[in-house]
Chains A and B, each alone.
Chain A
């Protein structure tokens, strides 16, 4: 039973160990055990999550490749397709933020290249603790620098993302990187080891001792000892990645490359077993042939190394020289390390002698699924609006909200990223979604990622629904039709009932919205064990979304365009206060219900807005989200360099109208002459819209009239601009 103890040390449990013995019909040796331990870690096997992920709608007429491959692919017409994937790199970033974030970016890029696509854009969804903590500042600065240095160097623009701050992430920040690529449909590649006798080639960087057991490390909670796992964090080389991308895309044009897989978590073990498993074949490799960074590496180390910037190619027998030559052009290694077999085994040789032999399918897909008992936790405290006093000075409240790091301008972050390289960025970061043109066509794509984790904490089902609805709204206000979702589900320890409950309910909410809005989920990633000091992070199911613009000249952004334009609210205000930044920061209340999404209304509002944009009626459009109507209007004004003057007649309390975060609302500005057409269209579609003011020069003023009560925000554009633009920088410099 010595091996069982070893297995437990590597993170496998008794049941899993017994399953391995049953499959092999013998005890595994140490190398085999190591391979199983990484492949059956949560990070690689999805053993805690795959049952629930089936709830997502994954089909649609445009879906070419759904979940299960390196990335999802959707058809955008003209023989082209968009490739998308998001992935977490949370644990590495918690202990080595610069390299953790950098290699997160590197890994997600290779997932896109592995489909044969040219990566064209990066996005990042980040979560940190509050910036008053010096270690959080350190994590923040280094994560941003790591993302920037890697993305900037490989020449893929970082065009968008989101960043939120909340105490729960203090020791366990979330770093989710999303990459989007464009591909000709007839050049799509798969991660399969097809064709018995074909060569297995390893290309790119040398294999070193870095990152061994990274996948297992990502499958446990962070603790005091986590710092000792720093060697589990890989080191990135964006220059090598850039060369690897170019060389791979050159050879992937040819049919003699039959399969490709990137080496990420669990390195060679994962790449070999997954490609063989997908094809129903086996692979035999000799670790002696693997080009190594240092001498004396054991087969165990070679098989588990997570050295970055490597790819596995499956090449038709006889064409190896062609691949070697193509890589030589870029001064890169390309070495045949083995061949595809017909016996379904992943066989590892060392200098011709067998050192490990396990069924590829068992490694890649055989981890026993964990069954959870899911019990609804105690209902949280309800919020009663009557207990909340309406503040007297709305200007002060408004200024406070604009200064919150969750709301203030994020250009401090994205100006450290090259968001323009490749010259496709038509709408840069800072608007609801980034918009990219596709050269050689009239088309464009809109990209965003979204999640309000506090909503999910208050109600994971509604929060999940809202994340999808808001991402879609961000895509729509940019003039695009939502196409597909890639999701990154960041949660705590799934063995805890409260966490698995949040996980399952979030998925249900997301799935319902995705189904209703007809936006399939085509790829994704799960990250559990985001805990420290026994406390889970907020449930954070990040929704990455891509939309299609048929005619790029019809795109929009949120900035007001011209003085005198009418400002119109599509959708309805409500008295919902729960979950808002206002109630959290002004009243210090962290309970209640998040705003509800009525999917029917949501869909109508989105379809109406998109139609109006396509008809060319609208000059700007912006989704109302954190901070409510007042903040949304301020963002339109500040980005346009123009003021706003408005008056809202209502029966609702003024704080709810101004700062409540009721869903399915969009602010647009239009030329007055277009109003009759817009109104007619709205009436036909049964859409409620209200003129709430007009674009002004230097003032920012919102008057709320509730019968005889009059309250208002009145500030100069200059003042709100200064607060919103600089607050994040000020918090960092404090």
Chain B
């Protein structure tokens, strides 16, 4: 699998995503600087990492979407290539219109860094195939702007088209208010596009993909992608 990690000015989880893809999974991985363009066929997976692109001074992700690299990301997504946006990367995908909805400041106005429980709402995406449906997993979050919002009509559409991929839940899998760290509507933690090839999520799978970090629940997300691109899961590359 050929992977790209996009580096925006202010990205800071770029090295973490790179490490998981190259060193943990052993995949061919490149950094792509935001000023560069690339062709849709250059990569099978493009990761938009977490961080504070352009300092998030305007609105999280609002400026990054105008970069050269994002033009190429949009083109690649249209060709069915896999695009994974984590945390700030999710925010950029929303700003770029690759995913629907918007991000607001966390309900309590504070930055949150801790583990959360997630429910895998949809395991028939290239990113989640190795999880069981409704599996409860643990992943860390680290964000100040993770309060997902979309209009009731959009939410309705996301539900019917099964685009909600991860939700915040308690240890038993209940979508409670207490288990929702940021006030996201319907406890939404991650969504995909209609074609299932673009996923955005606030939690950080790259931070829980190794034994030494005492949690490997995020590794399956990357392994799912790998299986998918090998053609093992859906019987062929998209």
Interface residues in chain A, defined as those with a beta carbon under 8 Å from any beta carbon in chain B: 145, 148-149, 152-155, 237-240, 242-243, 329-331, 411, 414-423, 425-426, 437, 439, 552-553
Could you give 15 example pairs across A and B, Cβ below 8 Å?
A153-B55, A153-B56, A239-B52, A239-B55, A240-B55, A242-B9, A243-B10, A329-B33, A415-B112, A415-B114, A416-B112, A417-B111, A420-B113, A421-B16, A423-B16
Interface size class of B (residues with CB under 8 A): 20 to 34
Interface of B: prevailing SS = mixed
Q: A418 to chain B: which residues have CB within 8 Å?
A: 111, 113, 142
A423 B206 Cβ-Cβ under 8 A? yes
Q: A552 to chain B: which residues have CB within 8 Å?
A: 212
Residue of A330, A439, A553 touching B19 (CB-CB under 8 A): A439
Q: A411 to chain B: which residues have CB within 8 Å?
A: 114
A421 to B113, CA, bound (A): 10
A240 to B52, CA, bound (A): 11
- B residues 125-155 in Cβ contact with A at 8 Å: 140, 142, 144
Q: B16 to chain A: which residues have CB within 8 Å?
A: 421-423
B111 A437 Cβ-Cβ under 8 A? no
Q: A155-B52, A415-B113 are in contact. List 5 more A-B contacts (CB 8 A).
A: A145-B110, A152-B144, A239-B57, A415-B114, A423-B213
B19 A416 Cβ-Cβ under 8 A? no
B55 A422 Cβ-Cβ under 8 A? no
Q: B9 to chain A: which residues have CB within 8 Å?
A: 239, 242-243, 330-331
A242 B12 Cβ-Cβ under 8 A? yes
Q: A242 to chain B: which residues have CB within 8 Å?
A: 9-10, 12, 52
A416 B55 Cβ-Cβ under 8 A? no
B15 at the A interface (CB under 8 A): yes
B54 at the A interface (CB under 8 A): yes
Q: Are A152 and B52 also in contact (CB < 8 A) when A242-B10, A416-B112, A422-B16 are?
A: yes
Residue of B13, B20, B56, B114 touching A155 (CB-CB under 8 A): B13
A152 B19 Cβ-Cβ under 8 A? no
B204 at the A interface (CB under 8 A): yes
Q: A420 to chain B: which residues have CB within 8 Å?
A: 113, 140, 142, 204, 207
Q: B89 to chain A: which residues have CB within 8 Å?
A: none
A155 B113 Cβ-Cβ under 8 A? no
Q: A437 to chain B: which residues have CB within 8 Å?
A: 212
Q: Are A149 and B12 also in contact (CB < 8 A) when A239-B54, A423-B206 are?
A: no
B54 A152 Cβ-Cβ under 8 A? no
A552 to B52, CA, bound (A): 31
A426 B212 Cβ-Cβ under 8 A? yes
Min CB distance, A244 to chain B, in Å? Answer: 11
B51 at the A interface (CB under 8 A): yes
A426 B213 Cβ-Cβ under 8 A? yes
A425 to B54, CA, bound (A): 26
Return the chain B residue nearest A118 by Cβ. Answer: B15
Q: B142 to chain A: which residues have CB within 8 Å?
A: 152, 418, 420-421
Q: A152 to chain B: which residues have CB within 8 Å?
A: 52, 111, 113, 142, 144
Q: B113 to chain A: which residues have CB within 8 Å?
A: 152, 414-420
Interface residues in chain B, defined as those with a beta carbon under 8 Å from any beta carbon in chain A: 9-10, 12-13, 15-16, 19-20, 23, 33, 50-52, 54-57, 110-114, 140, 142, 144, 204, 206-207, 210, 212-214
Min CB distance, B178 to chain A, in Å? Answer: 14
Return the chain B residue nearest A425 by Cβ. Answer: B213
A343 to B214, CA, bound (A): 58
Residue of A148, A153, A423, A426 touching B10 (CB-CB under 8 A): A153
> Which of A153, A154, A421, A422 has the most chain B CB within a 10 Å cutoff?
A421
A7 to B33, CA, bound (A): 51
Return the chain B residue nearest A141 by Cβ. Answer: B110
Min CB distance, B22 to chain A, in Å? Answer: 11
A422 to B14, CA, bound (A): 9
B111 A239 Cβ-Cβ under 8 A? no
Min CB distance, A249 to chain B, in Å? Answer: 12
Return the chain A residue nearest B142 by Cβ. Answer: A418
Q: Are A155 and B204 also in contact (CB < 8 A) when A242-B10, A415-B114 are?
A: no
B212 A416 Cβ-Cβ under 8 A? no
Q: B57 to chain A: which residues have CB within 8 Å?
A: 239
Return the chain A residue nearest B51 by Cβ. Answer: A155
A423 B12 Cβ-Cβ under 8 A? no
Q: Are A423 and B19 also in contact (CB < 8 A) when A239-B54, A242-B52, A331-B9 are?
A: yes
A148 B207 Cβ-Cβ under 8 A? no
A446 to B140, CA, bound (A): 22
Q: B111 to chain A: which residues have CB within 8 Å?
A: 148-149, 152, 416-418
A243 to B34, CA, bound (A): 13
A155 B12 Cβ-Cβ under 8 A? yes
A330 to B54, CA, bound (A): 11
Min CB distance, A638 to chain B, in Å? Answer: 16
Q: B110 to chain A: which residues have CB within 8 Å?
A: 145, 416
B15 A422 Cβ-Cβ under 8 A? yes
Q: A439 to chain B: which residues have CB within 8 Å?
A: 19, 23
Return the chain A residue nearest B14 by Cβ. Answer: A155
A149 to B52, CA, bound (A): 10
Min CB distance, A218 to chain B, in Å? Answer: 27
A270 to B51, CA, bound (A): 33
A153 to B113, CA, bound (A): 13
Q: A414 to chain B: which residues have CB within 8 Å?
A: 113
